[in-house]
Structure 1
Amino acid sequence: MTRHYWMGGNRSYEQDRFFEASLDKAQWQRAKSAEDWQACWYTGMPGPEYFEKVGPERKINHIPGNNVLTVKSRLYRSVMDLKDRVQRQEKGVGPRTRRLDFMPHVYSMPEDYHYFQQAAWENPEKRWLLKPKNASKGKGIRLVDDPANVPMDASWLIQEYLEHPHTMHGRKYVLRLYVLVSSVTPFRVYVYHQGFAKLASLPYNDENASNPYSYLTNPDINALNLEAEVPVEFVDFDRYRAWLREQGHDDQALFARIDDAVALTCLAAQEPMRERCRAIGADPRGCYELMGIDCLIDEDLKPWVLECNLSPSLEVCAGPESGGRIEETIKGGLVADLVELVGLNRPIKGEPDQSPEQQVIQQTREELSRSGGFRNLIPGVAPSRYLPYMALPRLEDWVLAQSLSGKPLPQPAMERWVAEEMVTDEQVLLYDTRLGHFSALNETASVIWLMATEGAGPDAIASTLLESALHTQAGPPDAWPIRQQVWDTLADWAGNRFLVQASDSQFGDGQGEQAAREERPQLPVTWLSTVLQSGRAMVRLQVDSMPLREYIHPMIERFHVTEHPAPDSLPELCIVRDAPGYTMILDGEVVVSRRPLSAMSEALFTCLMREAPGPGDIAMDASVLLMPGVAGQTVMVAAGGQGLQESLSSALQATIGRGLLLGAYDRVEPLATPATGGSCFVSAILIPAPLPQNPTTRIVARRLTVGEVLQHMLPICCGVGGRPLSAGEFTALSSWVEARECWLVDCREPGAAAEVLENIVKTGGGHHDFARLEG
């Protein structure tokens, strides 16, 4: 009988060709539509409609719920959820919990924004990687230059940067492993015997660690390094392991640790995959998943799982002389072995004449016999090794583990976790202490719950239900469905954290439940309460975050009241953590909301400047240069002159301040300078020159008219409460500007401009011709 295959998604010839070549041409033809197929090879994640008719005879290369691994932020959360459960089983950090320490810390935006800011403040020497949550091929990855500037939107995450990677020939590398989940129930996981060390194209050291060609190993990134002799280099595992042995390392010990990390990573997805299959009505027997897991090896030869890739690239990335030929051979063999393992080229069998238990064992043994280059991790050579990491083994997992172990295994026992019970005459009532949910159990579920919480194992509970059925049914009951109901019910409760597997005596550190990690540790609250003065106003500033307190400290110091006692009753200016970012509230009114840390110094200054003017005053948001050796004289640089003020302050050794308050009688007070207080005289107003259309022209300085200056000044001026200037204030500002030296200055010529400015200040004004330099 001819069967049909369909290839869809974000397709390319390179992604499809190995799959198509591996199918038996005598059995398979390409389908004419996306509805008529018995095998689907889909690059990317298909929609739920693709899973409607999957089953043992209609298979697709994806498992619903795989995004708990293949979305970067969810991968970390999934492994941490598994770690929480195991730590709860051990009642502290024991050997099983420590086996899960293989992932760098991840902060998912926006919910982890403040946790990241706290971590960055507590670890100022640590570096972090900014990554898009759902991108591939290294797109968008970069080192965080300033933690205060990280984006807060939901498409980003921050990952701890591992500072001391193991290097090969001086270059950083990441191992690409090909991992196959062939079955959800029972859970079967394989890793391919071959893979690649993907090398960066530049040597790794502290000096060039910020160069993407040094710290990123993605071939798509390094292919852009045109200066590298070999921009993309893949080293297959045979050569990599031989090189490790040459360096005196134990390659078998390393790959045993890698296998364990990979198996545990996949176990974190077992229950989410089962639940998603159930939710969309997919038969998991028709689903399998090939993933590309990237591991970094540190200088202590410890493996770290970095990410798990959906539909890993099957393109040949390396050149022929830098691993490309071997890469093609490995990827072709990988897909051919996958097609054989999942049985696509096997004839369709009829209904088996076996019990469900025999079917589970027989199907697994047949799959293991045709695994080719895939090495089985779960159930593996020691099936009981991974049973404690399941919320609770399903019945299929249990009977398979017992069969492959060749000996009886002790039944798992259960303990209460987040559920409280109330037993009435009619039923058992359960209350979820974590979510606040309440449920009433039926008669069978009540028996299962009560027996499980009293220490009975699943099969003992099933025997009780089976005995009861013998007295209530006309014929002999089928034991397998009853056993399956008990195991599934207990596993579902364990997945919801109502129950947890009880630890045995050889594990745990005896510290009790209080040793287990909290669901979400509380951020420390560090209140700062201080009085700030800005012009005519005083406010009491309060903040609740140490990272925020440190970030705005330079601004606070310039407004801080130190000499005079402040009144007891002052307007309150509060800056508090929000979800995400920070919100500023002045006397109960929101000034700004959900701004990133990097925006808070500017927001604080703007708020204080708006509060600074009294009646008749004008606040000006401009830079101020305090000239050395010229007492009481300042130069004002209008908005937009950041580069100009910095270059001039360096050339003239001037102190920089910000903000002026113009009062009656042309009295001017600085708002925020290192030496706030006292009046000063503004000698000149400088406006930064826009870049000329002719790049050969250099304007050093040119006198401006009052109208030209006001065009620049009005947008940066305000009256009481931040309102626009009144007619009288506009007139006062115009008169004040008219009495100043006003110049357009080219900040590309700081030396020449400084000479002009110094002459203006020393002479107190006068006539100066503008200077022009021809390039």
Structure 2
Amino acid sequence: MTRHDRQYWMGGNRSYEQDRFFEESLDKSLWQRAEGPENWDACWYTGMPDPEFFSQVGPERTINHIPGNNALTVKSRLYRSLMDLRDRVERQEKGGKHLTDRLAFVPKVFSMPEDYHAFQQAALDNPDKRWLLKPKNAARGKGIQLVGDPADVPMESSWMVQEYLENPHTMRGRKYVLRLYVLVSSVSPFRVYLYRQGFAKLASMPYDEENANNPYSYLTNPDVNALNLDADVPVEFVDLERYRAWLREQGHDDEALFAKIEDLVALTCLAALEPMRERSRVIGADTRGCYELMGIDCLIDADFKPWILECNLSPSLEVCAGPESGGDIEEEVKGGMVADMVEMLGLNRPSGEESGGSMVEQLVRETQAEMGRSGGFRNLIPGSNPSAYLPFMALSRLSDWVVAQALSDRPLRQPRLERWVAEETFSEDQVYLYDTRLGHLSSLNETASLIWLMATEGAGPDDIASALVDSALKSMPTAPDAWAIRNDVWNTLADWVNNRFLVQSEGQSGDRDTSEPGQRPFPETSTMLSMALSCGRFRARFFTDSAPLVSRIESLLEPMAISDDAGKDSLPRLEIVRDTPGFTLILDGQVIRSRLSLAAVVPALASCLATHAARHDDIAIDAGLVAGPDSGMFLVSHSEPSLRDALTLALATKWRVDCGRGALLKASDGACVEGLGLPLQDTAREGQFVAAQAGVTGYVGRVPAVLVPSENPVPDSSGVQAVTVNETLRHLISSCCGEDGRPLDTDGFTRLAGWLESRQCYLVDMNNLEAAAAALSGRCFEKAPQKASGGR
């Protein structure tokens, strides 16, 4: 290819600031800008391109992404990838910890909706722990917030919850996160680099545990802190060179810290190696034309332990800080990094360099040449000790193995494999593999059968390949392609390891783990709540086995609990079961509500009980009940969603009397109301509920007055204003129902209106509660309600 013949194209969710360093780094005597995406030799794409972009990549046609990178760059996938790696390494070690312990560097993540119940259990088990709610596929700090009530966490698949790391190390009193730039230059063989420079990104306000809800205190994202108008320097970057000098001034060992960081980065990238290889295979991408530059965020805690927080696809190359707060250095670092990357990848080198020699020689020469021109990038894999990371690969491919062999200062022992979730059976000369997880039986051809048998008897991949080559030499008229046979053996074994049929053998034998990879069942719990409930004329046996739900709901149901009796087994079964997503409410096998969050369970259950409280011509009223200060019982409408039970709870607090929710207007006694004992919703504490009290629950009596709370001021300075029956009906009717939750028919409506005719109805000013409470307590009402015979 002659000078000026190569073309580059820049696309995606891009701005010139994202592109300019790449464009400036290209040798203009070799490159010219393409007119469109149809014809390019180098593609620089911000974001992730469609699969068709990878159809023609190769050694002479490059793109800055690797298929399957979402195993790292989607926040929830990062955690899952590292946990899958940890599971496999833990199985390899069989009780050993020297490798497994190196993988404990990522905060726990719960991916919605499949991990919803596991998160609720973790929140229950760790009541003092804080959690971060994050969008799975957002960037630049968008949507991140501290979790208030764990029950309010959304169940939609776009969300995840991450463990909040307490006790961060601070710089000048402010929390910081290190932005590391990581380059995967090759998938086969696997090559990973860490750039010598990067940044400490500082929050714009001092870190304060008491003020951790302030995003400018606990978030370090420049886009978030740029909005802090109260900060003198809202966005501040400190480059890693100055950061490390500052650490040394403070008496810390920066070399030891960054050795840990390098190990974390290498292991993080290894967690995505097989997903990248597999996705590339599926879409037909030649990975020789693929590379990936990522921005990895790393937090340092007060004990100087580094934690990987997230990996960012197409990290921002814009200059975010002003000149006075590190912007000039930021530009120098980012520009120098992209220039070093372009040089290392050979984009500015003439095409058609030497490619002779054996495959081993070509792979080793290519790796050594790349490492030799790496500039500010430090090679982590294969690294100075190439054997160090081989145990973390499911199984190294032949290209990884020969490069590691060539760069090592001592001979490497071939990996040995053993069965994991597969057993073999024989039929004549054929081997069948039985997957103990899935109950699936598959057959192997003659060559694969030999590979399986030799591997499970302890032969290494190269030993197996040598046996196959020797066999081919005896049966073929021409010499076989030894490299191709060797490569096939390594790939076949690696595929079996990825399927968990085999695993690298380390340590002593132990029990096999036959769990499905990636399978996350509901957290085990020994908690079971079973109680008989009575709500009006409705009785049921209630069940749930969710510990977080039991913790939240048990005390709220106690007022409605009745003692077990001889007929308990004949009661309808009311249960709340864990589902995906959330919870499902079931009555006698019929689904009443599904996809309920933990926060939504109590309102749903209360609604179910209220709508089943009536029989025949009864009227169930989902409203508050509060005893008067001296006598009487007030029925309080809660038709306004923003107010709910606020007035009921406020009056009960001021008068120091009992309150509850739910009333049954019985057909047999048209004047009396029975308290149902449903929990009240405390709007002052979002998502919290208060149990009904004994002074109201189960008591039957007359209600002389009905109260309607108002957010708008009432004209009367007393805070109380009489209203008509029709106005009261307008507020109350939506909370009333007949048998089986049906809306009131004509007779029911007439009965309710007639009942209200003989009550006093008041509008109560929620902005003037002191006066309203005093006015209501001074009114003369009927005699206090009496407890019904046989009441609870």
CA distance in structure 1 between the partners assigned to 2:637 and 2:722 by the alignment: 14
Residue 619 of structure 1 deviates from its aligned partner by 0.7
- Please say if residues 626 and 657 of structure 1, whose CA atoms lie closer than 8 Å, have aligned partners that are also in contact: no
Structure 2 residue 253 is matched with structure 1 residue 250? yes
Residue 15 of structure 1 deviates from its aligned partner by 0.2
CA distance in structure 2 between the partners assigned to 1:617 and 1:696 by the alignment: 36
Q: What is aligned with 2:122?
A: 119
Residue 739 of structure 1 deviates from its aligned partner by 1.0
- Please say if residues 5 and 30 of structure 1, whose CA atoms lie closer than 8 Å, have aligned partners that are also in contact: yes
- What is the 5 A alignment of 1:253-292? 253-292=256-295
CA distance in structure 2 between the partners assigned to 1:548 and 1:105 by the alignment: 22
Q: What is aligned with 1:636?
A: 636
Structure 2 residue 453 is matched with structure 1 residue 450? yes
Q: What is aligned with 1:768?
A: none
CA distance in structure 2 between the partners assigned to 1:401 and 1:539 by the alignment: 68
CA distance in structure 2 between the partners assigned to 1:525 and 1:102 by the alignment: 30
422-431 vs 47-56, greater mean Cα deviation: 422-431
Residue 760 of structure 1 deviates from its aligned partner by 2.8
CA distance in structure 2 between the partners assigned to 1:699 and 1:326 by the alignment: 67
Q: SS of the counterpart of 1:207? A: helix
Residue 616 of structure 1 deviates from its aligned partner by 2.4
Residue 698 of structure 1 deviates from its aligned partner by 8.4
- Please say if residues 622 and 659 of structure 1, whose CA atoms lie closer than 8 Å, have aligned partners that are also in contact: yes
- Please say if residues 436 and 514 of structure 2, whose CA atoms lie closer than 8 Å, have aligned partners that are also in contact: no
- Please say if residues 622 and 716 of structure 1, whose CA atoms lie closer than 8 Å, have aligned partners that are also in contact: yes
Give CA-to-partner distance per residue, 1:377-427, whole Å, 9 cap, x none.
Answer: 000000000000001111111111111113211111001111111122131
Give CA-to-partner distance per residue, 1:419-477, whole Å, 9 cap, x none.
Answer: 11112213111122223333211111111111000000011101100001101111122
Change (3 A) 1:25 1:567: closer
536-545 vs 62-71, greater mean Cα deviation: 536-545
Residue 690 of structure 1 deviates from its aligned partner by 5.0
CA distance in structure 1 between the partners assigned to 2:47 and 2:715 by the alignment: 53
Q: What is aligned with 2:727?
A: 708
Q: What is aligned with 2:575?
A: 574
Change (3 A) 1:7 1:667: same
CA distance in structure 1 between the partners assigned to 2:169 and 2:600 by the alignment: 38
- Please say if residues 711 and 767 of structure 2, whose CA atoms lie closer than 8 Å, have aligned partners that are also in contact: no
Instruction: Name the aligned partner's letter for residue 636 of structure 2.
Output: M
CA distance in structure 1 between the partners assigned to 2:498 and 2:269 by the alignment: 15
Give CA-to-partner distance per residue, 1:263-288, whole Å, 9 cap, x none.
Answer: 00000111111111111111000000
- What is the 5 A alignment of 1:272-351? 272-349=275-352
Q: What is aligned with 1:526?
A: 527
Q: What is aligned with 1:717?
A: 736
Instruction: Name the aligned partner's letter for residue 672 of structure 2.
Output: R
- Please say if residues 437 and 516 of structure 2, whose CA atoms lie closer than 8 Å, have aligned partners that are also in contact: no
CA distance in structure 2 between the partners assigned to 1:717 and 1:763 by the alignment: 24
Instruction: Name the aligned partner's letter for residue 717 of structure 1.
Output: C
CA distance in structure 2 between the partners assigned to 1:636 and 1:742 by the alignment: 10
CA distance in structure 2 between the partners assigned to 1:727 and 1:200 by the alignment: 64
- Please say if residues 625 and 636 of structure 2, whose CA atoms lie closer than 8 Å, have aligned partners that are also in contact: yes
CA distance in structure 1 between the partners assigned to 2:526 and 2:780 by the alignment: 49
What is the aligned counterpart of 2:436 among 433, 437, 458? Answer: 433
Q: What is aligned with 1:773?
A: none
Q: What is aligned with 2:687?
A: none
CA distance in structure 2 between the partners assigned to 1:379 and 1:280 by the alignment: 26
Give CA-to-partner distance per residue, 1:551-607, whole Å, 9 cap, x none.
Answer: 112321121114977644211111111111111111121111121111111111111
Instruction: Name the aligned partner's letter for residue 627 of structure 1.
Output: G
Q: What is aligned with 2:788?
A: none
- Please say if residues 181 and 288 of structure 1, whose CA atoms lie closer than 8 Å, have aligned partners that are also in contact: yes
Q: What is aligned with 1:15?
A: 18
Structure 2 residue 639 is matched with structure 1 residue 618? no
Q: What is aligned with 1:627?
A: 628
Give CA-to-partner distance per residue, 1:668-720, whole Å, 9 cap, x none.
Answer: 1111131112213323211122547xx99989332211111111121111111
- State the percentage of identical aligned residues: 61
Q: What is aligned with 1:139?
A: 142
- What is the 5 A alignment of 1:89-108? 89-108=92-111
What is the aligned counterpart of 2:169 among 166, 170, 192? Answer: 166
Change (3 A) 1:760 1:511: farther
- Please say if residues 718 and 771 of structure 2, whose CA atoms lie closer than 8 Å, have aligned partners that are also in contact: no
CA distance in structure 2 between the partners assigned to 1:339 and 1:698 by the alignment: 77
TM-score (norm 1): 0.95
Instruction: Name the aligned partner's letter for residue 142 of structure 2.
Output: K
What is the aligned counterpart of 1:669 among 669, 674, 689? Answer: 674
Instruction: Name the aligned partner's letter for residue 240 of structure 1.
Output: Y
Q: SS of the counterpart of 1:665? A: coil
Residue 313 of structure 1 deviates from its aligned partner by 0.2
Residue 755 of structure 1 deviates from its aligned partner by 2.4
Instruction: Name the aligned partner's letter for residue 220 of structure 2.
Output: T
CA distance in structure 2 between the partners assigned to 1:696 and 1:62 by the alignment: 68
Give CA-to-partner distance per residue, 1:298-348, whole Å, 9 cap, x none.
Answer: 111001101000000001111111111111100000100010111100111
- Please say if residues 140 and 223 of structure 2, whose CA atoms lie closer than 8 Å, have aligned partners that are also in contact: yes
Q: What is aligned with 2:609?
A: 608
- Please say if residues 698 and 746 of structure 1, whose CA atoms lie closer than 8 Å, have aligned partners that are also in contact: no
Q: SS of the counterpart of 2:175? A: strand
514-523 vs 671-680, greater mean Cα deviation: 514-523
CA distance in structure 2 between the partners assigned to 1:212 and 1:550 by the alignment: 30
CA distance in structure 2 between the partners assigned to 1:568 and 1:362 by the alignment: 78
Residue 212 of structure 1 deviates from its aligned partner by 0.7
- Please say if residues 92 and 512 of structure 1, whose CA atoms lie closer than 8 Å, have aligned partners that are also in contact: no
Change (3 A) 1:566 1:534: farther
Change (3 A) 1:259 1:465: same
- Please say if residues 88 and 516 of structure 1, whose CA atoms lie closer than 8 Å, have aligned partners that are also in contact: no
CA distance in structure 2 between the partners assigned to 1:696 and 1:290 by the alignment: 67
Q: What is aligned with 1:755?
A: 774
Q: SS of the counterpart of 1:111? A: coil
Q: What is aligned with 1:734?
A: 753
Q: What is aligned with 1:555?
A: 556
- Please say if residues 420 and 514 of structure 2, whose CA atoms lie closer than 8 Å, have aligned partners that are also in contact: no
**Paired residues, what number?**
758
51-60 vs 730-739, greater mean Cα deviation: 730-739
What is the aligned counterpart of 1:683 among 704, 716, 726? Answer: 704
Residue 57 of structure 1 deviates from its aligned partner by 0.6
Structure 2 residue 49 is matched with structure 1 residue 46? yes
- Please say if residues 532 and 538 of structure 1, whose CA atoms lie closer than 8 Å, have aligned partners that are also in contact: yes
- Please say if residues 182 and 295 of structure 2, whose CA atoms lie closer than 8 Å, have aligned partners that are also in contact: yes
Instruction: Name the aligned partner's letter for residue 33 of structure 2.
Output: R
CA distance in structure 2 between the partners assigned to 1:18 and 1:229 by the alignment: 29
607-616 vs 707-716, greater mean Cα deviation: 607-616
Change (3 A) 1:390 1:683: same
Give CA-to-partner distance per residue, 1:713-743, whole Å, 9 cap, x none.
Answer: 2111111111122332222211110111111
CA distance in structure 2 between the partners assigned to 1:227 and 1:189 by the alignment: 41
CA distance in structure 2 between the partners assigned to 1:383 and 1:691 by the alignment: 74
CA distance in structure 1 between the partners assigned to 2:635 and 2:530 by the alignment: 34
Q: SS of the counterpart of 1:386? A: helix
Give CA-to-partner distance per residue, 1:153-187, whole Å, 9 cap, x none.
Answer: 10000111111111111111111000000000000
- Please say if residues 420 and 513 of structure 2, whose CA atoms lie closer than 8 Å, have aligned partners that are also in contact: no
Give CA-to-partner distance per residue, 1:625-672, whole Å, 9 cap, x none.
Answer: 222332x53343343243333433333334331011112231111111
Instruction: Name the aligned partner's letter for residue 166 of structure 2.
Output: E
Q: SS of the counterpart of 2:453? A: helix
Q: What is aligned with 1:770?
A: none
Residue 122 of structure 1 deviates from its aligned partner by 1.0
Change (3 A) 1:220 1:395: same
Give CA-to-partner distance per residue, 1:35-72, whole Å, 9 cap, x none.
Answer: 11100000000001111111111000000000000000
CA distance in structure 2 between the partners assigned to 1:436 and 1:203 by the alignment: 57
CA distance in structure 2 between the partners assigned to 1:467 and 1:635 by the alignment: 93
Instruction: Name the aligned partner's letter for residue 76 of structure 1.
Output: Y
Q: SS of the counterpart of 2:166? A: coil
CA distance in structure 1 between the partners assigned to 2:86 and 2:564 by the alignment: 54
Structure 2 residue 767 is matched with structure 1 residue 745? no
